[in-house]
Structure 1
Amino acid sequence: MDSFIDVPERLALKGVSRRDFMKFCGLMATVLGLPMSFVPKIAHAVAKRPPVVWLHFAECTGCTESFIRSTHPWAADIILDTIDLAYHETIMAAAGDQAEEILEKTVKDNKGKFICIAEGAIPTKDKGVYGKIHGKTFLEIGNHVCKNALATIAVGNCACSGGVAAAKPNPTECKSVAEAIGIKTVNLEGCPPNADNMVATVVHFLLFGKMPAVDDLGRPLFAYGYLIHDNCPRRGHYENEEFVQEFGDEGAAKGWCLLKVGCAGPKTYHNCPKIKWNQGTNWPIEAGHPCIGCSEPKFWDEMAPFYVAK
C-alpha cells in the first residue's frame, strides 16, 4: 500500500507541487465542513487508493465530464492519483473484451472491498433490454457489480432519481440505480454534480471508513444539507421584494432576485453558493441565471419548464 510520502512524490512527477497537494486537501476539508486541523489527516487518508469501478448506464456522460474537469488542480493529477480507478469506459485505454476482463477481475479480486460509482439510470422494461454493454443489460451489470461492492455512489440526477432518462413518458421505464437494483446508494444529485462533492465523498470514506451522513434521499448532508435560497447572495433582494421580471431588464442589471424568472433556489438543496464552479469562481445564480433545481428528484418533470416562449 502506498504511503503518504509516495503520494506527493508521484504527483511531483506529473508537475503537481506538494503545496498544490496540500491545497487540495484543504479544499476537501472545506467541502466536508471539517476544520483545517484535518488537512494532514486527509493527506494521509488519500494514500490508501481504494479500487474504484465507474459504471455508465443511461446518461450523457456529463457527470464524467464534470469529474475529469475538476480544477483544484486537474483531476488527472490529483483525483485520479488519489483513487485506483480500475474501470471507466470513457477514459480507460482498454476497450472491448479487454475492458470487460478488467471489470470482471476487479470485481472478483476485490469483492466487498471496492467502491462502485454509477452514472446514469437503468432501463427496466422488458428485463432491461434497452440498455446493454458487451451483450449484458444494465440490469445484469448493476446486479453483478453494485451488489459486490463495498458501497455504491450514484452520481448525477439520472443515477440518483432517474433524471432525463426517466422523464415522462419514460418509454423504457428507467429507474434510479437504487430502485432498479434494490440497494442503498449514496446519492450525489445534480445535472451534473460538482466534482468537488464527488471527490469529497470518497475522501470522507477514506478518512472515516464510512460514507458521510445523508438526508432522507440518500444525499450527503455536507453537500445537500441546506437550501440554495438560504445561502444565496441575492437573498437580500428577495427580502426587499426586488425581483428580475425578465432577462435583460433593469433588475437583472442590478443583480436582483431571480425568483420571478423561474429560480428554483427556494426548493433546492445544494452547496453551489459555497463551493461554486470553475475553480470556485462562479455559479449559475451569481452569473445571472436562475437555479433549475437539478439536484432535486425528478427535476426534469417537476421543475420544468425552464424557459417559456413569449
Structure 2
Amino acid sequence: MGKTYWEAFKEKGLSRREFLKFATYITGLMGLAPSMVPKVVHALETKERIPVIWLHGLECTGCTESFIRSNAPYASDLLLNVISLEYDETIPAASGIFYEENGELKKAGLIKHLEEIVEEYKGRYVLIYEGGVPLGNDGRYCIVAGRPYKEDVVELAHHAMALISVGTCASWGGIQAARPNPTESVDVATVVHKPIIRVPGCPPIPEVITGTILHLALFGPPPVDDQGRPKQFFGNRIHDTCYRRAFFNAGQFVEKPDDDAAKKGWCLYKIGCRGPTTYASCGNLRWFGGISYPIQSGAPCIGCADKNFWDKDPFFERQKGIVLPNVEVNADKVGMVAAGVTAAALAAHAVASGIRHMKKKDEEQ
C-alpha cells in the first residue's frame, strides 16, 4: 500500500497546522463550500497519493509549461504531496534512453520502464494526455521511444483508473488538426473509447489543470458537462464574468484595435472577441496568479478552449448570431433624456394645474 497524503506531509517534517492549512486552501481552489473542509481533511488522511502517467503527442508542450506555473496550488506541492508522477517525457531529470532504461526489470532486459509502471499500478494510475494523436502514415508523424504515439495512447488506457485530456490538442485535435490536417490529427477520444475528462485551452489556465487533478485525487472524477469538461471550470462563458460586460450591455464597442474606444476599455466583440460563445474560467481565475487575461490586456478572446477554434477564421471580425443591445446609450444621453422627461412632467403638471384652476373659477361664477 502506498503512502497517504498525511503520511507524506509528516515525512517532510510538516506540522499538523500546515497540513490543515493546505486542506483548507485546496478546498477553496476546488470551489467547495467551507463546510467541506473536514471531508477534504479526511480524504487527505486516508487516500493514497495517486500514481500518474503523463504522455505527450503532437503538441508544443505549452500545457506542461502552464501546469508548472500554477500558483494555487504550486505545481511542486501537487507533484510532491498529492500525486506521484511516475512517467513524463518532458520534466524528469533523465531523458531518452537513460529514462527508458530506468527500473530493475528494464535493466535485466525484460521490459520497458513504462510497461513496468503499468504492471505495478495496474488499475490504479491516472493517465494524462497532452497533444493530438496523428493517424496519418500509420501514426508515424509522432514517434515516442521508437513507436507510434497512438499505440501507447490506446494500450495504456486499458488499465488506467481515469483519463484526462489536458489542452485543446488532446481534447479536440489541436492546431495541427487545422484544415487540411495533413497528419490526420485527432483528439484522444477518437481512438480511446472510455470516459475522458477534457481540460481544453491553448493552453489551459494553470489552476484549471491542477484543480482538476486535485479533485480527481481526493474525490474521484469531477462533475462534467455534456462534452466531458469539469463544470467547476467550464460552467460559464467568459462573457458572463468579463469585466467589459457592462460596455457590451451599453452597446459600447471597440471598432478598431487602436481607436478611442479601445483606449477607454470598451467591449471587444466587434473586433472578433469570442467571449460570448466560449466556456472557460479566464474572466475569474485569470493568468499568472490572477493578474490578467487576454481581454484585460486588450486582445479579443479567440476561443482557444472551443472545438475547432483554429478553423473559425477570421479571428478579428465580429461573430454572427450574437444578439446585440439595440442602441448605445451613454451617461450624457441618459442625462438629456432624464432632463427632457422631467421638463415634460413639469409642463404636464402646470397644464393640469391650470385646467383645474380655470374649472374652479368657472364654477364660482
Normalised by the size of structure 1, how large is the TM-score?
0.89
Check conservation: 2:5, 2:49, Cα contact below 8 A. Answer: no
What is aligned with 1:225? 235
1:130–1:146: structure 2 CA closer, same or farther, 3 Å change rule?
Answer: same
2:37 corresponds, among 36, 39, 61, to 39
Check conservation: 1:31, 1:197, Cα contact below 8 A. Answer: no
Question: What stretches of structure 2 of length at least 5 have no aligned partner?
Answer: 101-111, 318-365
Check conservation: 2:29, 2:72, Cα contact below 8 A. Answer: no
1:26–1:261: structure 2 CA closer, same or farther, 3 Å change rule?
Answer: farther
CA shift, 1:134, in A, is 1.6
What is aligned with 2:176? 165
Partner amino acid, structure 1, of 2:156: V
2:315 corresponds, among 292, 306, 309, to 306
What is aligned with 2:99? 99
Partner amino acid, structure 2, of 1:188: V
1:87 is paired with a residue whose SS is strand
**Is the counterpart of residue 206 in structure 1 residue 217 in structure 2?**
yes
Partner amino acid, structure 2, of 1:85: L
Partner amino acid, structure 2, of 1:42: V
What is aligned with 1:89? 89
Give the Cα separation in 2 of the matches to 1:80 and 1:306. Answer: 40
- Counting only pairs closer than 5 Å after superposition, residues 228-307 of structure 1 correspond to structure 2 as 228-302=238-312, 304-307=313-316
1:133 corresponds, among 144, 150, 156, to 144
Question: What stretches of structure 1 of length at least 5 have no aligned partner?
Answer: none
Deviations 1:74-111 (A, max 9, x none): 31244443110001111112323443333211111111
1:212 is paired with a residue whose SS is coil
CA shift, 1:183, in A, is 3.1
Give the Cα separation in 2 of the matches to 1:299 and 1:24. Answer: 37
Check conservation: 2:5, 2:81, Cα contact below 8 A. Answer: no
CA shift, 1:224, in A, is 0.8
- Counting only pairs closer than 5 Å after superposition, residues 164-203 of structure 1 correspond to structure 2 as 164-203=175-214
Check conservation: 1:25, 1:39, Cα contact below 8 A. Answer: yes
Partner amino acid, structure 2, of 1:306: F
CA shift, 1:25, in A, is 4.3
Partner amino acid, structure 2, of 1:69: R
1:48 is paired with a residue whose SS is coil
Check conservation: 1:166, 1:174, Cα contact below 8 A. Answer: yes
Partner amino acid, structure 1, of 2:227: L
Check conservation: 1:237, 1:257, Cα contact below 8 A. Answer: yes
2:54 is paired with a residue whose SS is strand
Give me the CA root mean square deviation.
2.3
What is aligned with 2:343? none
Give the Cα separation in 1 of the matches to 2:201 and 2:281. Answer: 11
Check conservation: 1:154, 1:186, Cα contact below 8 A. Answer: yes
Give the Cα separation in 1 of the matches to 2:145 and 2:3. Answer: 34
Identity %: 43
Check conservation: 1:87, 1:99, Cα contact below 8 A. Answer: no
What is aligned with 2:3? 2
Check conservation: 1:124, 1:139, Cα contact below 8 A. Answer: yes
Structure of higher CA gyration radius: 2
Give the Cα separation in 1 of the matches to 2:202 and 2:307. Answer: 11
Deviations 1:119-156 (A, max 9, x none): 00000123212111122101111111122211110000
Deviations 1:33-90 (A, max 9, x none): 2112323433553562100000000000000000011123531244443110001111
CA shift, 1:3, in A, is 4.1
Count of aligned pairs: 303
1:75–1:122: structure 2 CA closer, same or farther, 3 Å change rule?
Answer: same
1:130–1:4: structure 2 CA closer, same or farther, 3 Å change rule?
Answer: closer
2:75 is paired with a residue whose SS is coil
